[in-house]
Amino acid sequence: LVTYFSSQDGVLCAEGVPLPVIAEAVGTPVHVYSAAALRDAAHRFRSALAILPSVRVAFAVKANPNGAVLHLLAGCGFGADIVSGGEMRRALDAGIAASDIVFSGVGKTDRELADALAAGIGQFNLELEEEGQVLASLARARGRRATAVLRVNPNVDGRTHAKISTGRRGNKFGVAIADVPAMYDRLSRLEGLDLVGVALHIGSQLRDLAPLEEAYDRIGYLVADLRARGHVISRVDLGGGLGIPYRADDVVPTLDAYAAMVGRVTRDWDVELTFEPGRVVAGLAGVLMTRVIWVKPGADHPFVIVDAAMNDLARPALYDAFHRFEAVAPDGERMVANIAGPVCESGDVFAVARDIDRVRRGDLAVLHATGAYGAAMASTYNCRALSPQVLVDGDRFEIVADRYLPEEFAA
């Protein structure tokens, strides 16, 4: 595993920039991204999939909507997968062509649909029949046709955290696979709609290819069925979901294994495949740098109270997620501690009873692998600021999002 965050002369760096330099210039907490890591992940994703005949890659903007990050990924040939008007704005502003944007999401408002039509968004991923009807009539009113696919719920358990599993019966996403053929017949007759295929996405941080393969298999049968009913199926959107190693010993599928599986399953499909990766592109390309405010004695272990909190990185509080903690300038000693933020909730804890680098008041440290669903999920809870974001490229860095205080939202 190549990492772009490694120690040089005992000090943790982002590429060629020592992290204390960034802390000095920008303050903490701060999200730090590595441009090389983003490019590397983007290129590895694309080149693994190069064994497939026809591929489009749409970065899942929800994972990291930072404009500079999107712009960089656009330069690597990525389109965007969006789920709101706000994400559409970010993607377009970053220079991503409207035709390279896929609009997913279970609750697109009429306003969002109309704006996306006006912008010329390339593909709408429909979640229910009525959405297709509304989209068709909005398109007709403009004398246009909207290109769409129907999102299928394949009823496959992605075997990931329940809160990020999306492909099971009972989840709010997609249309039950048994209902798809008849619905597809009806939707395809609508004036104003070009229904060109199907989509699925069964969950995120998937550590195993088997559920994905099972879901894709079901889609293969569905495509054959739809064709037998006379439909022209030219696109299948296979979603995102590949996991990344958060712990040193996490085992996740390789991109080559994923591509090989997709190649095998989709061999006879004769469609253009769309992928919507988020985490696997951006996750390992970011760290959250924080400063230790106190080391507070605790009942079982001391609490390392850091200046980052659940409003900067919600994943541990929401999903009990693990993010590796590392001191920026470790002294070689270890300690067992709980790591917590200042927010007034007992759930604002990044780690419990963890063996970590010894840190003291004032020390800098990072939480690793926060490039996806880190800043993206930030809030101003407790009237805390949205933390700034910095993009490192070689031995230079740039502030790509300012620290943003709640009172500035009113302005």
277 binds ligand LLP (CB under 6 A): yes
User: Who contacts 58 (Cβ-Cβ below 8 Å, separation ≥6)?
Assistant: 78, 79, 80, 81, 100, 101, 102, 274, 275, 276
- Single out the residue of 122, 276, 166, 150 nearest to residue 225, CA to CA: 150
* Residue with Cβ nearer ligand LLP (29 or 243): 243
Is residue 315 annotated as involved in ligand binding?
Answer: yes
78-107 positions binding ligand LLP, by CB under 6 A: 81, 104
CB of 362 to ligand LLP, least distance (A): 30
Is residue 241 annotated as involved in ligand binding?
Answer: yes
Is residue 276 annotated as involved in ligand binding?
Answer: yes
Binding mask 336-375 for ligand LLP (x = CB under 6 A): ------------------------------------xx--
Which of 31, 90, 168, 201: binder of ligand LLP (CB under 6 A)? 201
Which of 31, 315, 323, 384: binder of ligand LLP (CB under 6 A)? 315
CB of 359 closer than 8 Å to CB of 335? yes
- Strand pairing category for 79-82 and 325-327: unpaired
CB of 285 to ligand LLP, least distance (A): 13
Q: How far apart are CA 268 and CA 262, in angstroms?
A: 11
DSSP 3-state of 8: strand
Binding range to ligand LLP, per CB under 6 A, among 40-48, 200-208, 260-268, 287-295: 200-208
Which of 18, 192, 239, 371: binder of ligand LLP (CB under 6 A)? 239
* Residue with Cβ nearer ligand LLP (303 or 319): 319
Question: How many CA atoms lie less than 13 Å away from 117 in the CB half-sphere?
Answer: 26
Which of 17, 164, 284, 386: binder of ligand LLP (CB under 6 A)? 164
Which of 147, 155, 204, 311: binder of ligand LLP (CB under 6 A)? 204
241 binds ligand LLP (CB under 6 A): yes
Segment holding 218, helix H or strand E: helix 209-228
Cβ count near 285 (within 10 Å): 30
Helices (H) and strands (E) in the chain, counts: 12, 21
User: Who contacts 232 (Cβ-Cβ below 8 Å, separation ≥6)?
Assistant: 196
CB of 70 closer than 8 Å to CB of 82? no
Which of 28, 84, 165, 205: binder of ligand LLP (CB under 6 A)? 205
Kindly give the residue spans of alpha helices, DSSP state H, lying in 33-66.
Answer: 35-49
| Number of shown-chain residues binding ligand LLP (CB under 6 A) | 22
60 binds ligand LLP (CB under 6 A): yes
DSSP 8-state symbol, 168: S
Which of 63, 114, 149, 285: binder of ligand LLP (CB under 6 A)? 63
252 binds ligand LLP (CB under 6 A): no
User: In the complex, which residues of this chain contact ligand LLP (CB under 6 A)?
Assistant: 60, 63, 81, 104, 164, 166, 201, 204-205, 239-242, 276-280, 315, 319, 372-373
